[in-house]
Structure 1
Amino acid sequence: MERRYRLRQIVNIVNASTPLGMLLARAGGSGGLRRGPHGLLIGTGYRLPLPAAPAFTVGNVVLVRDDGSILRRRPSLLAHEARHATQYAWCLGPVMIVLYLVCAGLSMALCGDHASYNPFERRAGLEDGGYRRRPLRFARR
């Protein structure tokens, strides 16, 4: 494994975001965790209602609602989620969840979509995550 991925893995364990992701996988009825590329863990079969996304990341844990086939069909989605894992390392782990929610709320107010103007989603690649950039509300009038 490349040094940068090993460092991300260690930081996300120390900042408690990966252990939190592992607990969430267990609570969400995940079909177990398997090793993914670049130090990621993939949890399949996530069943809790929130978040509603088909895939999301907590620490180095990528959780998906299906059997993992979405990540095989859309490798760009896995790259998007891996960028979120790096964001957890930079944003002090679980603190990122709060920051992400604030940014998602601001994006929702600006354009009616949680991702379009959320810097976390934009830096992870909107299109890779399956999002399209929406115009600002005041620009639509």
Structure 2
Amino acid sequence: MTAGRRVRRLANLANGTTLLGLVLARAAGTALSKGPRGLIIASGYTWRLPFAGAFTLGNVIICRMRADQLLTKPALLGHEEKHCSQYAWCLGLPFLPLYFLAAGWSQLRTGNPASANFFERQAGLAAGGYVDTRTPKPAPGGTGGIEV
């Protein structure tokens, strides 16, 4: 494991988000297993919310599929791992309101919570299973340019 990944793992332990992820995973009755690069996979998540097939809390990737299935999806695993790093950069729990603010902004701008969401774009929309629905709007005043 690289030094950066060790720092991320320690940061998410210190900021409490990995512990929160483990508590949620246990409460939801998931199966915990050691993942690659300091990640923990909580598989078999069945609660209705969130709607996502996978999401993260600290260094815990919580997913609906089995751990061995997630490991065969390197793009999705990498996407979720980037969210783990985002928790560390945001010093833990501040990531959650920032993420939901970005999701709301995206919903207002594009009609879905991911397309203009900074965190999802940084993690890779396609890797996370999202379609970029942003469409250019005509520039005001009919100048012929486009506004994004």
| Structure 1 and Structure 2 fold alike (TM over 0.5) | yes
- Residue of structure 1 equivalent to 2:145: none
Between the aligned partners of 1:117 and 1:69, the Cα distance in structure 2 is 31
Question: CA separation of 1:137/1:104 partners in 2, compared to 1, >3 Å: closer, same or farther?
Answer: farther
- Secondary structure of the residue that 2:52 maps to in structure 1? coil
Give the partner amino acid of 2:52.
A
Question: CA separation of 1:137/1:46 partners in 2, compared to 1, >3 Å: closer, same or farther?
Answer: farther
If the length of structure 2 is used for normalisation, what is the TM-score?
Answer: 0.88
Which residues of structure 1 form unaligned runs of 5+? none
8 Å CA contact 1:12, 1:18 repeated in 2: yes
Counting only pairs closer than 5 Å after superposition, residues 32-51 of structure 1 correspond to structure 2 as 33-51=32-50
Between the aligned partners of 1:105 and 1:26, the Cα distance in structure 2 is 29
Which residues of structure 2 form unaligned runs of 5+? 139-148
After TM superposition, the runs of 4+ consecutive aligned structure 1 residues lying more than 4 A away are: 136-139
- Residue of structure 2 equivalent to 1:13: 13
- Residue of structure 1 equivalent to 2:132: 133
- Residue of structure 1 equivalent to 2:110: 111
8 Å CA contact 2:110, 2:133 repeated in 1: yes
If the length of structure 1 is used for normalisation, what is the TM-score?
Answer: 0.92
- Secondary structure of the residue that 1:43 maps to in structure 2? strand
- Secondary structure of the residue that 2:47 maps to in structure 1? coil
- Residue of structure 2 equivalent to 1:30: 30
- Which structure is larger by alpha-carbon Rg, 1 or 2? 2
Q: Is 1:96 matched up with 2:95? A: yes
8 Å CA contact 1:112, 1:137 repeated in 2: no
Question: CA separation of 1:29/1:138 partners in 2, compared to 1, >3 Å: closer, same or farther?
Answer: farther
Counting only pairs closer than 5 Å after superposition, residues 51-90 of structure 1 correspond to structure 2 as 51-90=50-89
Give the partner amino acid of 2:10.
I
- Secondary structure of the residue that 1:34 maps to in structure 2? strand
Equivalent residue pairs, number: 138
Deviations along 1:6-32, one digit per CA (max 9) or x if unpaired, are 10000000000100110110111212x
